[in-house]
Amino acid sequence: MSIKVTQLKKSFKMFKRQAGLKNAFTSFFNRKYETFHALKGIDLNIDDGEILGVLGENGAGKTTLMKILIGLLYPTEGDVFVDDYVPSKRNKDFLRQISIVMGQKNQLWWDIPASESFLLNKQIYNLSDVEYKDSLDELVTLFDVSEKLDVQVRRLSLGERMKMEIIAALLHRPKIILLDEPTIGLDVIAQSKIRDFITYYNQEHKSTFLLTSHYMSDIEKLCKRVAVIHQGIKLYDGQFSTLIDNINPTKKMMFEFQNLPSKAILKELEEKYTFTLENNILTTHSPEKIIPEMLADLFAIEKPTSFRLEDLPVEDTMKSFFENPDEFI
């Protein structure tokens, strides 16, 4: 077991005041605090070499979970073991085996080329020249950034910068890699490149990945298993495909007629199914079990010019889930 989290709770004491100058004065002398429960008893086990997606809205507790796993934050209650280490003790051997990439924060020095920061990491992680060269060559080749190594970080594009951030985080070949929104703000090509990289790296080095992303295509393509956190509570832990099926069991079907059927036949269809008809194309969003029967009826009328069956976009599905999670789980 790579990561084992039991009944993890994390609370923050937060200063609270209402807007306005008067309230600012009042709170200066009479400060009011409230406790914000970021995580409310999370259980989570992650196996070696697994890629786990952590889903949740902004403020759900995903980043807090990651920060506890890497030892930045102390748990309020509960147990956390990462490869048998207690992260909050910040054991140096533990820190050599783990790494984090935060899409919204930089670890690279802004004013110098990324290659200089890599050399700094070489010293920090005490890498030999051979280890450093092997690792750097592999990562640079995978990301195809050899020509950008000596360019100042502030002159790189967002996508190039993120690739350099990932290289900096993986130079020491950590066993556990936490990726907090690594593709945020990137164009589709850069997103795809980073996804390909994660897949390759996971297969090649058997590293364990924990990934948060608001782009469902990241999760869909990388994570078989996901954990869904909502307001500090784990709502779901299982196959991503099962979650999607639970949330939205309907499929979209488009059937293009060669010739529009008679009004009587269409009326019969309308009595049995829900659909729209436009330019000879019948479109329906129906439960999966209805589709075969409907398809049989349509083929009985005539062979189509074209026919398509597809799942609803995952983004839309997850959006409807987060709007009302209790309805689905």
Partner 1 sequence: MPRYFSVWLAFFKNSLTRDLEYKANFIGGIAVDSVYYLLYYFFFYTIFSYVDKLGSFDKEAVFIFLVISFSIDAFYMFFCANNVYKLNDYVVKGDLDFILTRPIDAQIFVSFRYVNTYAIVSILFLLPLLGILVFNSHYEPNVLQICLFILSSAVGVSIFYAFDMLLSSLVFWFRNFSLVGWLSYEVLKFSMRPDSIYTGISRKILFSFVPMALISSVPTRILLFEDGLHYFLYQIAIASILIGITRLVWLRGLKKYESASS
Our finding on whether 63 is near partner 1 (CB under 8 A) is yes
Our finding on whether 150 is near partner 1 (CB under 8 A) is no
**Dihedral in degrees, nearest 10, Cα atoms 256, 257, 258, 261:** -170
Longest CA–CA separation in the chain, Å: 80
Burial class from Cβ neighbours inside 10 Å (0-12, 13-18, 19+) for residue 45 reads middle
One of 92, 263, 289, 303 touching partner 1 (CB under 8 A): 92
Least CB distance to partner 1 at residue 60 (A): 12
Measured distance CA(216)–CA(213) in Å, rounded? 7
- What lies within 8 Å, CB to CB, of 307 at 6+ separation is 253, 254, 255, 256
Measured distance CA(204)–CA(49) in Å, rounded? 10
Smaller CB separation from partner 1, 211 or 314: 211
Our finding on whether 151 is near partner 1 (CB under 8 A) is no
One of 50, 138, 160, 180 touching partner 1 (CB under 8 A): 180
Q: Which range binds partner 1 by CB under 8 A, 114-122, 237-245, 278-286, 294-302?
A: 114-122
The β-bridge relationship of strands 306-311 and 250-256 is antiparallel
**First-to-final CA distance of the chain:** 27
Smaller CB separation from partner 1, 115 or 286: 115
Q: Which range binds partner 1 by CB under 8 A, 123-131, 139-147, 196-204, 239-247?
A: 123-131
Our finding on whether 35 is near partner 1 (CB under 8 A) is no
Our finding on whether 90 is near partner 1 (CB under 8 A) is yes
Smaller CB separation from partner 1, 24 or 124: 124
Contact 162, 122 (CB under 8 A): no
Our finding on whether 36 is near partner 1 (CB under 8 A) is no
Measured distance CA(199)–CA(196) in Å, rounded? 5
Contact characters 223-252, partner 1, x per CB under 8 A: ------------------------------
Burial class from Cβ neighbours inside 10 Å (0-12, 13-18, 19+) for residue 289 reads exposed
Our finding on whether 284 is near partner 1 (CB under 8 A) is no
Q: Which residues of 114-152 are buried (b: 16+ CB within 10 A; e: fewer)?
A: beebbeebbeebebeeeebeebbebbbebbebeebeeee
Our finding on whether 93 is near partner 1 (CB under 8 A) is yes
Measured distance CA(262)–CA(290) in Å, rounded? 23
Our finding on whether 33 is near partner 1 (CB under 8 A) is no
Our finding on whether 149 is near partner 1 (CB under 8 A) is no
Contact characters 6-25, partner 1, x per CB under 8 A: ------x-------------
Contact 93, 249 (CB under 8 A): no
Q: Which range binds partner 1 by CB under 8 A, 110-118, 143-151, 217-225, 320-328?
A: 110-118
DSSP-derived secondary structure letter, 325: G
Residue 178: name the closest of 39, 71, 89 by CA: 71
Count of positions on this chain that bind partner 1 (CB under 8 A): 37
Smaller CB separation from partner 1, 211 or 244: 211
One of 37, 57, 76, 112 touching partner 1 (CB under 8 A): 112
Q: Which range binds partner 1 by CB under 8 A, 101-109, 131-139, 218-226, 252-260?
A: 101-109
Per CB under 8 A, residues contacting partner 1 are 12, 59, 63, 67, 70-74, 90, 92-93, 95-96, 98-100, 102-105, 107, 109, 111-112, 116-117, 119-120, 122-126, 152, 180-181
